[in-house]
Amino acid sequence: MRKFLLGLCLCLFHLISFGQSSIYDLQLDSLGGVSKINLSQYSGKMLLIVNAASQDSLSFQYKELLLVKQQFGDQLAILVVPTNSFNTEQADSSLLQQFYANGNNNLIQVSGPTDVRGSNINPLYDWLTHAQKNGVMDTNVFGAFQKYLVNSKGMLVGVYKPAVNPMDNIFLISIKNALNN
């Protein structure tokens, strides 16, 4: 009977995890395209992924993301993913490097420009937006500065619409709660 129950539990676990992949298996091009950003480097850390655009009306949030990073320090990694998926990022890679270098001080990692929706969606955003892959929920990317919170075990634990300000108490509390769980 024990072997049967153990086998049944293993089968259920396999069915639950079927189709899911790990965020840590994914990678992005670096800004400038010289190297790859392997998401496995974030294993064991809380990760905030933000698709951004330097020409978007919400680009002020980039400075606030720096404040969030300063507040949480090494407990939280932030990955900014520039995108023109909403027609608000017209800068080329060299201009993006200049924009994101101002005030960055290596606090936040920035990837190369990436499609976050549509037929050319990057595998990271495919993972973030499909429950079959992330094991949690289906989501839509509504605009630049949408935020995805991934816990230290690689599980998607929060999705925040673009209008959610990084310094809002509700957002900061959700990060604190995720860090404590």
Tens-digit pLDDT profile for residues 89-112: 877 777 888 777 765 557 889 999
Sheet hosting strand 46-52, strand order edge to edge: 109-110, 76-82, 46-52, 147-150, 156-160
Q: What is the pLDDT of residue 91?
A: 77
Neighbours of 19 (CB within 10 A): 11
Q: What is the pLDDT of residue 105?
A: 56
Please, is 141 exposed, middle or buried when counting C-beta atoms within 10 Å of its C-beta (0-12, 13-18, 19+)?
buried
Are the CB atoms for 177 and 84 separated by under 8 Å? Answer: no
Backbone φ, ψ for residue 6 (5° rounding): -65, -45
Vertex 105, ends 102 and 111: CA angle to 5°? 75
DSSP assignments along the chain, one per residue: -HHHHHHHHHHHHHHHHTT---GGG-EEEBTTSSSEEEGGGGTTSEEEEEEE-TTSTTTTHHHHHHHHHHHHGGGEEEEEEE--TTS-----HHHHHHHHHTTTTTSSEEB-----SSTT--HHHHHHH-HHHHSS------STT-EEEE-TTS-EEEEE-TTS-TT-HHHHHHHHHHHH-
d(CA 19, CA 167): 35
Q: What is the pLDDT of residue 12?
A: 39
Q: How many residues does the chain have?
A: 181
Q: What is the pLDDT of residue 97?
A: 81
Q: What is the pLDDT of residue 159?
A: 97
Which domains, and CATH codes, for the chain? 21-180 (3.40.30.10)
**Which residue stretches of the chain have pLDDT < 50?**
3-18
Backbone φ, ψ for residue 156 (5° rounding): -70, 120
Q: What is the pLDDT of residue 98?
A: 79
Q: Encode pLDDT of 136-152 as tens digits.
A: 999 999 999 999 999 99
